[in-house]
């Protein structure tokens, strides 16, 4: 169960870093020659590494869980438009990314709360 909490924690860290990157893009919206950046997708970070789940019973399926170690690497993302000054930040696109990031954080937090409640109810009996 703790691996699930660790995964949710890493997901929230990734979302926080993405939100900071989006804020940096918006802050530099008028900087000549600035190119917007974004993080690689969280699922790509999960695909790059794998860890095995503990098989606690013979009837359980053997599968692999993934962990996020490289999800904080930044890369240049193509923008919608490039101004004469060479700036490629599209505020509409950055606002959409910010809304998606906010929504993903809300979903992750809600799931984490649910698992925490389930864990606490099992501990209490």
**Interval 93-125: pLDDT, tens:** 999 999 999 999 999 999 999 999 998 998 887
As separate numbers, helices (DSSP H) first and strands (DSSP E) second, the chain gives 3, 4
Q: Are 21 and 38 within 8 A, CB to CB? A: yes
Q: Domain coordinates of the chain in residue numbers? A: 2-124
Choose among 68, 16, 76: nearest CA to 44: 68
Q: Is the pTM of this model over 0.85?
A: no
C-alpha distances (whole Å) from 107 to each of 3, 8, 9, 33, 99 are 18, 10, 13, 35, 12
Instruction: Give residues with Cβ within 8 angstroms of 3, minimum separation 6.
Output: 51, 53, 65
């Amino acid at each position: 169960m703790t691996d699930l909490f660790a995964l949710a924690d890493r997901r929230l860290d990734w979302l926080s870093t993405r939100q900071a990157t989006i804020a940096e893009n918006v802050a530099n919206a008028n900087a000549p020659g600035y190119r917007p950046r974004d993080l690689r997708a969280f699922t790509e970070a999960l695909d790059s590494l794998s860890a095995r789940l503990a098989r606690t019973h013979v009837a359980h399926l053997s599968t692999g869980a993934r962990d996020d170690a490289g999800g904080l690497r930044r890369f240049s993302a193509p923008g919608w438009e490039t101004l004469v000054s060479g700036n490629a930040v599209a505020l509409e696109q950055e606002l959409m990314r910010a809304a998606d990031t906010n929504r993903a954080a809300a979903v992750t937090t809600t799931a984490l709360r649910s698992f925490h409640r389930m864990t606490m109810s099992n501990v209490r009996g």
